[in-house]
Structure 1
């Protein structure tokens, strides 16, 4: 059995801080190795269990958002709060016991509760519309009622206005407090009524209590042939050290978007884990070199955390020839040089359209400053328009039936990458994927294979093979030729599609899990 310990919290956050945020604060979904691994193992019916040790009263909502349905989990706070077999229920905040005469005022973000022309409190909601917390304002203190997505009050936080007192009471489903946290000192006191459920009645740090429960669970459940998969993060090492799991049963998942791959970080991990999995070729070299002189035996496997799913695109049915270009990881100077090549191809072929994709680091002004001067230099300002709309708006296009007749312009559209779904939506009618960064985006590569779309990179890697499912360009001079290779006719494009079909099988979830099992000397699974 595989036990997964994710790293879903910020490194500087406290263990007791709620991992859920109000809907207007909630960040966009991030690519995460543990989420992908859980999906793969679940689909292959490989025994797995998620171990969560952060305060996550909205854990089930998070798992549903990530499409991790029916994943078994153990949560330390459920253990601490004695939450077992609670049937979820929905409730309307207006059904709670409010003072007589309370009035509710709805704003775009929250609901404000007023009593006798005074602000009594406010209600805030999660991303799925459930009550996340209710804040009660008093003259000398602020009381926050944190709710569980199963429909009960999870904890009550009491904070004095002068900041001299700050406690949080963690409750069982019946509203009885089981532990009291002094937020200012980190000390924990146990309710004497429930002292029999704990080894101590007082803890100097919350980590002491957390480690007690986590270690008890590991000792009772982890068998000699089980594996603990730990998402590589600096703050995870201390927890693993306390659990005292045998090295040969621990594997660290190194995901570069989360962890700086340094000798110090890796050698600390090697003290507690014998195995490492990494996501890309370059990270394999980096991890291997940094572990070369470690005191312990370490084994490293390069394997993608993302599996292929057959989602063949439909660009061959489209008249337009859409290029999807991911900017992340490229400098402005590189982008300008490559854009000149792309614009030459667009000038020679009127069917070519360009979609530029990037993350939050890119804004409208910056992109306009990069692209518009080159468009003007090519004297294509009357022919090409740069559109900063961050997503398609087909509905609005349908409504605008009475637009003035203007000369048609070819579109260069910008798309901001928020989630996996953004990629999948855009790739459906894409003819070529362009990623010219020093480290091609791994999720985009696997999604491109799943869709059968040829990819153009400039760095040699395991996922794109020249003249098979794409091309590796060695200088900007070759970019225009690489684009024409797949844009002129369907012969080369069809060859890439056929090759991608074999890759879809190679990088399927079952095959990837079998690589894990062979690496760890476990039994393989069948398709």
Structure 2
């Protein structure tokens, strides 16, 4: 079966798409020996890194911007300073994340290095009189791919998309939006904006895709525009991921289901309920888990400390006090708190509480105070790889968010980690592999339930061993096959 996935990766030109439905769909379909083509409508100069890091190099790729910029290169190629022409009296100042170039004592350019290795060149900023005039983005295949020009007020004036040979293939006037281009596949040389040009290029490519092969679009306002412009003849499936669609709902934007869409999938029961209000026929919507569960070994019992992993969009004082009370009675427990929230207030509370923290001999000293403080660790939002590593050593997953994190829930099932939530989901069977709290006052007892009795942990691991079968790759693939079969039957 040939499957064509159109991601919504416009925000990922210089970053990796974490927890993304299109990435995990690609991983799933490749694991089932299906032919997958990623149809890319976004400008992605670091695509090779995305494919490698997500282990989806087996997917075929077709890129709108490769067509527009006349790029046939396939392999990544790092650049060196010698690949650029610099003024004769340039001085190079090497820093951790960049290289500053000085000419006659003035700031001439800055080379941005790629996080986290700080080795590959990512972009070059050009400066005049301490004002950035241009940004040169580097394609990971070894050439300057896009030049953005600014005025003295840092306003973007123009974007030039270059061929590997350095010629301007597409010029975007950022003041008017007007796009000028010379293409071999169309005689049109001007477009009202980049989206119109991208839609025309997408239409051109879809003419080469057989009409019986499936298109899976990652739903967003931008993707809706392309579907309306292109009106695909192929069977079309919209993938609604909560983190995208919730942003649209918050802005009172209609989660449009086009007349050309044959089926829609969403990732949670809550999202399913929201989507049903827009459908006349509920049979054209299904819930498919975005992440796969696989049986993994939990190493928490091998660690000197047991870990509570707390995923917190918001840390409430009540919950923090409850966790602090639990730690006070469990000297071998520490808590990792993943949050984007400022935690200065809680840092102060930890320091205050540490003033009475005694060691094993009942003595309060600087060492006992420091030991107490180090048992609270705040983490910035983590990647998939980082979360998976933590979950392999976690005793309890605490997630009191109104929408529990599905990736962590799936990993908890994989590693046999009990979960404590305030919302019932398909990932938790109460008192089997976790607990769903009705009130904040239940949190201390729920944590103690899994920290004090290893029997409860054993029951969790037994339950999750059975639950893995409901979320493994074979089961999720069956759900997709059911959708494909429904579309086939409807089109007969």
TM range (shorter): 0.7 to 0.9
Instruction: Judge conservation of contact 1:147–1:153 (CA < 8 Å) in 2.
Output: yes
The 1:31–1:517 alpha-carbon spacing in structure 2 relative to 1, beyond 3 Å, is same
- What TM-score, normalized to structure 1? 0.80
Say yes or no: does 1:255 pair with 2:241. yes
Deviations 1:213-262 (A, max 9, x none): 101111211x333222222222221111011025x822222222222364
Query: Alpha-carbon deviation of 1:74?
Result: 1.2
Instruction: Judge conservation of contact 2:91–2:102 (CA < 8 Å) in 1.
Output: yes
- Determine which of 360, 378, 381 is the counterpart of 1:415: 378
Query: Alpha-carbon deviation of 1:53?
Result: 1.3
SS in 2 for 1:269: coil
Instruction: Judge conservation of contact 1:29–1:419 (CA < 8 Å) in 2.
Output: no
Counterparts of 1:297 and 1:137, CA distance in 2: 57
SS in 2 for 1:520: helix
Query: Alpha-carbon deviation of 1:177?
Result: 2.8
Query: Alpha-carbon deviation of 1:446?
Result: 0.4
The structure showing larger relative contact order (alpha-carbon pairs under 8 Å, at least 6 residues apart) is: 1
2:356 is aligned to 381
Counterparts of 1:477 and 1:135, CA distance in 2: 54
Instruction: Judge conservation of contact 2:136–2:146 (CA < 8 Å) in 1.
Output: yes
Query: Alpha-carbon deviation of 1:420?
Result: 1.9
The 1:163–1:366 alpha-carbon spacing in structure 2 relative to 1, beyond 3 Å, is closer
1:20 is aligned to 13
Counterparts of 1:178 and 1:455, CA distance in 2: 53
Counterparts of 1:277 and 1:412, CA distance in 2: 41
1:153 is aligned to 144
Say yes or no: does 1:368 pair with 2:352. no
The 1:404–1:76 alpha-carbon spacing in structure 2 relative to 1, beyond 3 Å, is same
2:187 is aligned to 199
Query: Alpha-carbon deviation of 1:77?
Result: 0.7
- Determine which of 208, 217, 220 is the counterpart of 2:205: 217
Say yes or no: does 1:239 pair with 2:226. yes
Counterparts of 1:291 and 1:218, CA distance in 2: 28
1:71 is aligned to 59
The 1:109–1:34 alpha-carbon spacing in structure 2 relative to 1, beyond 3 Å, is same
Instruction: Judge conservation of contact 1:57–1:149 (CA < 8 Å) in 2.
Output: yes
Deviations 1:95-146 (A, max 9, x none): 4232323222234443222333333333223335322333344689934433
The 1:493–1:122 alpha-carbon spacing in structure 2 relative to 1, beyond 3 Å, is closer
1:390 is aligned to none
Instruction: Judge conservation of contact 2:334–2:375 (CA < 8 Å) in 1.
Output: yes
Instruction: Judge conservation of contact 2:41–2:63 (CA < 8 Å) in 1.
Output: yes
Counterparts of 2:75 and 2:401, CA distance in 1: 49
Deviations 1:297-356 (A, max 9, x none): 7622122211113322112334544332323356x25425xx43x4554455544x1314
Q: Which runs of 5+ in 2 are unaligned?
A: 360-364, 488-492
Deviations 1:237-293 (A, max 9, x none): 1111011025x82222222222236497455224342322222222222222x225x
2:217 is aligned to 230
Query: Alpha-carbon deviation of 1:370?
Result: 6.3
Say yes or no: does 1:131 pair with 2:114. no
Instruction: Judge conservation of contact 1:20–1:126 (CA < 8 Å) in 2.
Output: no
Counterparts of 1:165 and 1:507, CA distance in 2: 46
Say yes or no: does 1:169 pair with 2:160. yes
Counterparts of 2:254 and 2:484, CA distance in 1: 19
2:335 is aligned to 355
Say yes or no: does 1:56 pair with 2:44. yes
Counterparts of 1:9 and 1:291, CA distance in 2: 26
Query: Alpha-carbon deviation of 1:486?
Result: 2.8
Aligned positions of 1:461-476 closer than 5 A: 461-476=425-440
Deviations 1:164-217 (A, max 9, x none): 9944332222233333332322222234xxx53423122232222211110111
Query: Alpha-carbon deviation of 1:31?
Result: 2.4
- Determine which of 445, 448, 466 is the counterpart of 2:412: 448
2:9 is aligned to 8
Counterparts of 1:111 and 1:484, CA distance in 2: 52
Aligned residues: 475
CA RMSD of aligned residues (A): 3.4
1:436 is aligned to 400
Query: Alpha-carbon deviation of 1:91?
Result: 2.6
The 1:267–1:55 alpha-carbon spacing in structure 2 relative to 1, beyond 3 Å, is closer
Query: Alpha-carbon deviation of 1:75?
Result: 0.8
Aligned positions of 1:381-400 closer than 5 A: 381-383=356-358
SS in 2 for 1:220: coil
Deviations 1:467-498 (A, max 9, x none): 32222333344444433433334222112112
Say yes or no: does 1:306 pair with 2:297. no
Counterparts of 2:231 and 2:66, CA distance in 1: 22
Counterparts of 2:206 and 2:62, CA distance in 1: 10
Query: Alpha-carbon deviation of 1:62?
Result: 3.0
Q: Which runs of 5+ in 1 are unaligned?
A: 11-18, 385-402
The 1:371–1:281 alpha-carbon spacing in structure 2 relative to 1, beyond 3 Å, is farther
1:506 is aligned to 470
SS in 2 for 1:258: helix
Counterparts of 2:241 and 2:132, CA distance in 1: 42
